[in-house]
Structure 1
Amino acid sequence: MTSDETTRRDFIYVATGMLGVVGVAGLAWPFIDQMRPDAAVRAAGQPVEIDVSSVEPGSAIIVTWRGKPYFVRRLTDAEITAASGVTVDQMKDPQPADQRIGGPADEAKKDWVVVAANCTHLGCIPKVVDSGADGWHCPCHGSVFDFTGRILHGPAPINLPQPPHVFASDTNLIIGTDTAGA
Structure 2
Amino acid sequence: MQAATTAEEPTRRDFLYIATAAVGAVGAAAVVWPLVAQMNPDASTLAAGTLEVDLSGVAVGQILTVKWRGKPIFVSHRTPAAIKAAEDVPLNQLKDPATDQSRVQKPEWLVVIGICTHLGCVPLGNQGPYNGFFCPCHGSVYDTSGRIRQGPAPANLVVPPYKFASATKIVIG
Shared topology, TM-score over 0.5?
yes
Letter in 1 for 2:89: V
Instruction: Give the 3-state SS of the residue equivalent to 1:152 in structure 2.
Output: strand
**Counterparts of 1:1-182 in structure 2 under 5 Å?**
42=45, 45-103=48-106, 110-129=107-126, 133-176=130-173
Deviation string, structure 1 residues 42-101 (Cα, Å, up to 9, x no partner): 356421001110011111111111111110011000001111122222211000111112
- 1:165 shift after superposition: 0.2
The percentage of counterpart residues that share the same residue type is 48
- 1:148 shift after superposition: 1.1
Query: Residue 128 of structure 2 contacts residue 141 of structure 2 at CA under 8 Å; is this kept in 1?
Result: no
Larger Rg: 2
Query: Residue 86 of structure 1 contacts residue 133 of structure 1 at CA under 8 Å; is this kept in 2?
Result: no
Change (3 A) 1:44 1:121: farther
Distance 2:130 2:110 in 1: 14
Query: Residue 44 of structure 1 contacts residue 67 of structure 1 at CA under 8 Å; is this kept in 2?
Result: no
- 1:152 shift after superposition: 0.6
- Larger % of helix: which? 1
- TM-score of the superposed pair, with normalisation by structure 1: 0.67
- Structure 1 unaligned segments of length 5 or more: list them: 1-37, 104-109, 177-182
- 1:129 shift after superposition: 3.0
Deviation string, structure 1 residues 83-133 (Cα, Å, up to 9, x no partner): 112222221100011111223xxxxxx310000100000111111235663
- 1:137 shift after superposition: 0.7
Deviation string, structure 1 residues 129-170 (Cα, Å, up to 9, x no partner): 356634011010000001111111111101111110000101
Query: Residue 82 of structure 1 contacts residue 132 of structure 1 at CA under 8 Å; is this kept in 2?
Result: no
Distance 2:73 2:104 in 1: 15
Comparing 84-93 with 131-140, greater Cα deviation is found at 131-140
Distance 2:165 2:77 in 1: 16
Give the aligned CA root-mean-square deviation in angstroms.
Answer: 2.1
Aligned residues: 133
1:4 aligned partner: none
Distance 1:39 1:164 in 2: 20
Deviation string, structure 1 residues 4-61 (Cα, Å, up to 9, x no partner): xxxxxxxxxxxxxxxxxxxxxxxxxxxxxxxxxx987x35642100111001111111
Letter in 2 for 1:83: A
- Structure 2 unaligned segments of length 5 or more: list them: 1-41
Query: Residue 123 of structure 2 contacts residue 134 of structure 2 at CA under 8 Å; is this kept in 1?
Result: yes
